[in-house]
Amino acid sequence: MNYYYEQGNNGMDEILSNLNEAQRSAVERIEGPLLILAGAGSGKTKTITTRLAYLLDQVGIPAGDTLTLTFTNKAAKEMRERAMGLITQNSYPPLLCTFHKFGLLFLKFHIHLLGRANNFVVIDTDDKKKIIKKINADLPTALIASEISRYKNSLIDPTEAYAQAELTNYKHIAKIYEEYEAYLLKNNLVDFDDLLCLTYKLLDENPDLCRRTSEKYRYIMIDEYQDTNELQLRLLQKLCSTHNNLCVVGDDDQSIYGWRGAHVRNILEFDQDFADAMVVKLEHNYRSTQPILTVANALIEHNRSRLGKTLIATKEGGDDVQTITSNDESEESQKIAKAIKELITSGVRPNEIAVLYRINALSRSLEEGLNRAGVAYKLVGGLRFYDRAEIKDLISYLRVITNVHDNFSLKRIINKPKRGLGKATIDKIELSSIEAGKSMFEFISTLTDSELEGLVRKKSAGELRDFITEILELRRVSEEAIYRFIDLLEERFKIKETLKGLPDEAEKVANVDEFYGLFRDYVKQNPESSLAEFLNDITLQSEQDQVEGESIYIMSIHASKGLEFEHLFVIGLEEGFLPLIGDGSDLEEERRLGYVAFTRAKSNLTLSNVNSRFYKGRRTVLQKSRFINEAGLCEGSLILEKNTSYKKGDLVRHKIFGAGRVEGVSKAGREFKLSINFGGNKRDILASFVEKL
């Protein structure tokens, strides 16, 4: 037994010796509140899993006394496997799961205290929307679902929601919320948000249960703390009500989910929420080269709301960060595709290359450029441009205008925008048209008013008549004056208005504008072309076979969080795209997005901007993103080399330390900081305090 313990101890000593000083101090700090401020690529997962293993394997904390929470099942699984792989003592697995999984387990044991049976069923998002639609079919279902979720995560019940509502629609939503909650209760259902809301409610209303739960989980660890919301903070405060052994890991500079309810203040004010907190900064980066980190550090230093840290590369060397400026998005995609092809030809594996963008609408021109160059790609975390619902709707409109007998496309748009036609009614129209031996459009066109009102409600009959008239009018315009066509399409069918109130309204509208811009550009370049030719062209684009073999990755910056690539391109670095400006956007969060994007790169980073791009349906002249400036970059190379005469290898003299050699140059506010080796002693000195030899 002693031998086994000694062997285990030696194993842990070896594991600890592989940690840097900051990581080790975080692992060995076991009592009291601890914030591990983990920069990008700084070995966050290694630190938190080693700390868990240390608690169990060396300190002797029973596994059942620990609770480790994260945000995704994937992260939980990885952390569990890594932690258990480090443990040499016999131990059953600790509770390591997502916040919501913890809530589910907790409710199974305690929901009876709320007068509810523990055989409840958890409904998914689709089920939630179906229930809401049953209650109300007038307001956008996605909007109602989003608001109910927001209320729950802010611990606002239906009565409070109604009292707070100023606009009529929001009073209406509060009433729907009340009916929705009654439906869940009656049918013993809980939704995703309830898993945490009801858990908090139980702990808040049952002090003895709260005390027992807190005493049970005496050592709590939270991953990705910067992504927590108000409810999760309040839940943690309940869980820590009898002790203060809370360790959170996160990076305030990577807080990019404010739009989803995450509160960056949770990490910024950790020491205010949990007294006597210790902060350990992990600043050694094991992912990226120094030129990449210099640019990322320079950018994020412009944020005021941050705790502050500077990433330092452990890798040597590295190429300068490159910038590309193109005239427009078509030229940009050509340049990116060409650069990628050259990388692949030189032996780089495609899966080591990625392209990131801030706005999903930018993927359209990029996809087109990659398709033309024969570069295979995988779009991560989203749909290809032409597969997005709002774009499919637009294409269906164009197809019906081109060919009124296209029943498939007609069925997609006949109730978009809403004309009071349910699925059963549309099926009835289709069946009747088949019996009459006509297309649906032709069938509706030939019906008398009374015949049409026999199939659909009177109001819907009128709207269908208008629909038929508008389609025929647009068909005429497309043949006689195609340049007017798109404006008229939006004017008559108000497609963008149908997207109002949706949680992702801005993104969907941007996609529609991108499509309109694409059409206008096509007409401009091909003035004699027809609508059918345009449709054929985009069909070839949207259905182009992917090249065999491995693929590069393209994705939004949000989708790239937690990933890394040897060669990275970031497109759309223009004001209005990255950063997004106006419409309630948060410049500091936009800057954090830029920082996250830059720090995905391991060896090479290229930033791309254009002089003009389709924006809100029109070609717009754009300014280069302020982030390129803030990151200390000019076209193609570091601005540092232009603003300071010092470079790596220079011999310099300091009035106190004597002669030394420059080993690195970095930005420090408005000055430049030199890393200088004075006869074996390395010091960081501002450039203005030395002179060249």
Identify the CA nearest to 14 among candidates 70, 58, 77.
58
Identify the CA nearest to 152 among candidates 61, 60, 261, 284.
261
Q: Quick check: 672 and 665 in contact, CB under 8 A?
A: yes
Sheet holding 95-98, edge to edge: 95-98, 66-70, 219-222, 246-250, 34-38, 278-282
DSSP 405: T
Amino acid at 320: D
Tokens found for residue 202? 């139980």
Tokens found for residue 585? 């956007």
φ/ψ of 456, rounded to 5, equals -130, 165
Tokens found for residue 534? 């345009």
- Give the pairing of strands 284-285 and 95-98: unpaired
Chain centroid offset of residue 121 CA: 29
Q: Which of 23, 24, 44, 194 is catalytic?
A: 44
Q: Which of 152, 600, 602, 667 is catalytic?
A: 600
CA atoms within 13 A on the CB side of 423: 0
Q: Which residue has the tokens 């066509």?
A: 485
Determine whether 600 is an active site residue: yes
Determine whether 139 is exposed, middle or buried from the number of CB atoms within 10 Å of its CB (0-12, 13-18, 19+): middle
Q: Which of 47, 68, 98, 254 is catalytic?
A: 254
CB atoms within 10 A of CB 301: 20
Q: Which of 147, 194, 224, 273 is catalytic?
A: 224
CA pair distance 484, 478, nearest whole angstrom: 8
Q: Which of 57, 191, 223, 301 is catalytic?
A: 223
Task: Please list, residue by residue across 197-230, b when 16 or more beta carbons sit within 10 angstroms of its beta carbon and e when fewer do.
Answer: bbbbbbbeeeeebbeebbeebbbbbbbbbbbbbe
DSSP 414: T
Determine whether 68 is exposed, middle or buried from the number of CB atoms within 10 Å of its CB (0-12, 13-18, 19+): buried
Determine whether 44 is an active site residue: yes
CB atoms within 10 A of CB 3: 7
Determine whether 254 is an active site residue: yes
CA pair distance 373, 382, nearest whole angstrom: 22
Tokens found for residue 668? 């420090």
CA pair distance 253, 306, nearest whole angstrom: 7
Q: Which of 28, 45, 179, 204 is catalytic?
A: 45
Q: Quick check: 92 and 175 in contact, CB under 8 A?
A: no
Sheet holding 658-668, edge to edge: 681-686, 671-678, 658-668, 651-654, 690-692
CA pair distance 386, 602, nearest whole angstrom: 31
CA atoms within 13 A on the CB side of 590: 21
List, in sequence order, every residue forming a beta bridge with 613; answer none if it has no partner: 620
CA pair distance 546, 554, nearest whole angstrom: 14
Q: Quick check: 221 and 68 in contact, CB under 8 A?
A: yes
Tokens found for residue 526? 């091909």
Determine whether 367 is exposed, middle or buried from the number of CB atoms within 10 Å of its CB (0-12, 13-18, 19+): buried
The full DSSP string for 112-147 is GGGT--S--EE--HHHHHHHHHHH-SSS-HHHHHHH
φ/ψ of 490, rounded to 5, equals -65, -40
Among all residues, which ones are annotated catalytic? 44-45, 223-224, 254, 600
